[in-house]
Amino acid sequence: MTTEPNRKRLSPITTCHHAAPGLALGLILLFVVGTMALTGCGEEEQQELPFFDFPIEVRATDLNGDPVPGIPVLLDDNVVGLTDADGTFEAELLEQPTKTVRLAVEEIEGYRIADEQPSLETNLQIAPRVDGDGYRGIPVSLRVTFRSTFMDYLTWIDLDCDDDLDDEYCEDVPILLDGEKMVRTDGLGFAHFAFTGIPGDTYTITVDMPEHDPDDDDSVRIEPENRTYELELGPDATVFYIQQEFTDPDAPQTPQWRPRPRPQPQPSPSTSPSSDSGDDGSRIRTIF
């Protein structure tokens, strides 16, 4: 019997002691068969059932039918591999028929199992070959659907350099997300980017301005010196807005011109009433 070249070979091992974990050649499953004959342990050899290659096939997809890579595959509670970029894991298990095996998967960060029964326990079966030349192992297949917990988030950056700091320090500034450069600010100090995250996780935004070098006369000390911002992701898609003003505390202070307030005239009565009098004898008082 031959094994397809793109499949991993999973084989049992016969031993009188517990198998030590981690012993593998390629990807080998250490599967101790309780009903097989014990040899070399002081007991008489018994007749064994023949071994067959049983294809093991696991397919992991999300709710949209897209593949989910990196899902751990377990055979009898032992991890035997991960799904590939196509969301598929394939291997051959060299085993005797009628043996009971359990095939399952594990969750990974960002994905939760959506199926009610994400595992399969079955007895290995054989069937006659199509060409009539003996028997073949019937494949053991498992299909599991995962629900993505990732959400989309958007971040806007607004940097402003005040009158004591040249505007160039707010231009072309790298913006980092957990240490990875995402974008640079434009000529007005604006930037924005989208990212995917898991609700409940915390991400760090860093405005990567140059650090002050006290030994360099051309180096500018920019405040605030702490230019990191923590984003705690919520359960819904969110737009984060970060606005920050920066200054140079060492910039020379120029006196600001302030106009002198213009004095307002104060009303005062004239000491000499005008001689103009009305026909009725009233006086007209002019107040300057």
Among 116, 148, 180, the domain boundary falls at 148
Q: Is residue 261 part of a domain?
A: no
Dihedral angle of Cα 33, 10, 72, 59, to the nearest 10 degrees: -110
**Which of these three, 84, 113, 148, is where a domain ends?**
148
- The band of 264, judged by pLDDT with boundaries at 50, 70 and 90, is low
Say which CATH number the domain at 120 has: 2.60.40.10
Do both 46 and 137 map to the same domain? yes
Residues 144, 23 within the same domain: yes
140 with 221, same domain?
no
Q: Is the pLDDT of residue 252 over 50?
A: yes
Whether residue 136 is found in the same domain as residue 175: no
Q: Are 88 and 127 in contact (CB under 8 A)?
A: no
59 and 116 together in one domain: yes
Per-residue confidence band for 86, with pLDDT thresholds at 50, 70 and 90:
very high
105 and 158 both lie in a single domain = no
Domain boundary among 148, 164, 184: 148
Tell whether 285 is covered by a domain: no
Task: Indicate whether 132 and 238 sit together in one domain.
Answer: no
Q: Are 168 and 135 part of one and the same domain? A: no
For residue 279, is it within any domain? no
Number of domains within the chain: 2
Token pair 């989910």: residue: 68
* pLDDT tens digits along 181-191: 999 999 999 99
Is residue 164 assigned to a domain?
yes
Residues 135, 177 share a domain:
no
Residue-wise DSSP of 142-207: EEEEEEE--EEEEEEEEEEE-TTS-GGGGSS-EEEETTEEEEE--TTSEEEEEEEE-TT-EEEEEE
Q: Is residue 28 part of a domain?
A: yes
For residue 202, give the nearest of 178, 228, 220 by alpha carbon.
178
Q: Looking at the structure, do residues 86 and 112 belong to the same domain, yes or no?
A: yes
Tell whether 156 is covered by a domain.
yes
Tell me how far apart the alpha carbons of residues 247 and 164 are, in angstroms, rounded to a whole number: 6
Q: Is the pLDDT of residue 1 over 80?
A: no
pLDDT of 225 higher than 80: yes
Confidence band of 35 (pLDDT split at 50, 70, 90): very low
Any domain includes 119: yes
Cis amide prior to 269 (ω within 30 degrees): no
DSSP 3-state of 232: strand
Pair (49, 156) in one structural domain:
no
Contact indicator for 248, 164 with CB cutoff of 8 Å: yes
Which of 2-16, 159-173, 240-254, 274-288 has the largest mean confidence? 159-173
Q: Which domain holds residue 164?
A: 151-246
Residue 266 lies in a domain: no
**Claim: this prediction has a pTM higher than 0.75:** no
Q: Each residue of 168-224: pLDDT tens digit?
A: 999 999 999 999 999 999 999 999 999 999 999 999 999 999 888 988 888 899 999
